[in-house]
Every structure is written in structure tokens, then in C-alpha cells.
Amino acid sequence: MVEENIRGKRKNVFFVPLLAAVFFTLFFASARAESHVFDEGGLFTPQEIYQMEQTAEGLAQEYHMNVLLLTAAYARGMDSREIAEAFYEENGYTENGKHGGIVLLIDMDNRELNLTTYGDMIHYITDEREERIYDAAYRYASDGDYAQAMTAMLVKTGQYLKSGIPGNQYTYDEESGRVVHRRSVSGGDIVIALGFAFACAGAACYTVKRRYRSILQYEYSMGQNADIRITGQQDHLVNQYETVRRIPRTQPPGGGRSGSGSGSGRTTVHRSSGGHSVGGGHGRKF
């Protein structure tokens, strides 16, 4: 009896800590999955993190997107674009049922601001908008006010989500050169198109009706009114010229990277190491 009690106590000694470890692992994993701010660089105060969490949560709920804010102290041999992509993909955000997402990054090792976009977010954040997000944060990051820099990027992202996808948006694959134009029709466009179609149809019916009313039947006398004259004609080759012009190589739409003449609706995409189509990633040093 005593031996059985001792064995039971030994089992509890191992079982209780194991159960506690599993519980806390699941708890922190769940908390991490629901978070939006990951201050791995230790740049923000708890109050700053709380305010960013509230803003990011509002955008995530309204647009059904992953809105993630990340800081990094050590790059581990990666550039800032690779850090953002690895964080998004390795933590399962590509498979959590959201329409898309964005990672806003302050990389202290590479001293760079960066962002990456996935899914529908690719269409919202064009190359031009990406550069403006960096514009909003650059001065703060250069002055060492990293919380304000991240907040500025987050607020600017929210403004672009509210503005909607640009009407001339298209994606340009920097590896294959493929261009895909996004076609979108708003409710107002449909109403205008239907109204115009009905107006054209009504005008056509009215015109045809008036013409049939004014038709007069008569006979045309071919013998009296026809006058046919046939004359000979010859063509002579007088001179011949040949013009040679060098055809320039075709440039990708927009002429290259953002900030170098690309159209306002262009989003440059590439393939991540995980095989996903990703936008953004141009980055800016501070």
C-alpha cells in the first residue's frame, strides 16, 4: 500500500509539471496568434504597444486582414525583406483564413524600414503608396522615435485601406515580367453604364422610326440618269525609299522600381522563399 502511494506521488511529480508546460505553451501560442505587435527589438513601452494593438486590431477586424507590427534587433544574416516574409509565413498567417495581410517592420540590425504585403493587401499598397508609408515614418526613425515611426506607418496604412484599391491598380512580377491588370466595377459605374445604354437604345429606336415615316417610294430610271465612263489608267514606279529605325528594348511597365517613374497603380511583386506572391519589400534605410 505504501509502495503504491509512493509510485502515485512519483507519477504526479512528472505529470503535473508536464501538464503545466503544455498549458502555458498553448496559452502563450494563442496570445501570440491574437497579437498584432511583436516588439522583438524592445523599442516600445507597454503603453505604446497597447495603443498600437488597438489601432491594428480595428483595421484587422474591419478589413479581415492580418495587420502585424514587428521590430527586430538581430537580422541573423537576413535582409529586412526576408525577415518580414519569414515572420509572416513561418507563423502561419498565410493559412489563417484572412483575405491578406501586411508586416510593418523596423529592422534595427540593418537600420531599415520595410513592409511586405500578401493577398488582397497587395492591391491596396501599391509601390507609390509603399514609398509614402516610408515617408511618413522616416523622420521619426532617423530621430530615434521608433514608436512614432511605427505608428506613422500604421496610420498611413489605415488611410490607404480606407481609400480603397486604386482604379488603375496592376501587379508587375519583377522576375517574369508578367503584368496583371485588376478590373473592378463599382455600383456607380453599373448605374451609369445602364443609363447610357438605355439612352442609346431609345435614341436609336426614335431615329429609325422617324426615317421609316419619311420614306417616299419612287422608281429610279437607270437609262436616263446613269452616266458611266471608263478610261484607261497606268501606274508608274517613280522612286523607292527604305527607312531603317532601331527599335528600343521594351521596358517593364512604369520603367523600373517605384520612385523611378512607375505608375501610381503599380504594385511590384516577387516570389518569397516559401513560394508565395509578395508585394512591397523595397525598404528604406534610416
**pLDDT mean by block of 10 residues, the chain; 286 residues:** 53 46 40 81 98 98 98 96 98 96 98 98 98 98 98 98 96 92 57 49 57 57 64 59 46 41 81 96 97
- At residue 264, the pLDDT reads 81
Grid cell at residue 25: 505553451
pLDDT (0 to 100) of residue 226: 63
* SS3 (DSSP) at 227: coil
Question: What pLDDT does residue 4 have?
Answer: 53
Q: What does 146-209 look like in DSSP terms, one character per residue?
A: HHHHHHHHHHHHHHHHHH-S-TT-EEEETTT--EEEPP---HHHHHHHHHHHHHHHHHHHHHHH
Q: How many whole angstroms separate alpha carbon 33 and alpha carbon 21?
A: 18
d(CA 93, CA 84): 12
244 CB neighbour count, 10 Å cutoff: 4
Neighbours of 91 (CB within 10 A): 15
pLDDT for 22: 36
3-class secondary structure, 92: coil
How far CA 99 is from CA of 60, 64, 123, in Å, comes to: 10, 6, 11
Task: Round to whole Å and give the CA distance between 138 and 122.
Answer: 22
**Cα separations (Å) of 231 from 222, 223, 234, 235?**
21, 20, 10, 13
- Please give the domain boundaries of the chain with CATH numbers for all domains: 35-183+261-285 (3.10.310.50)
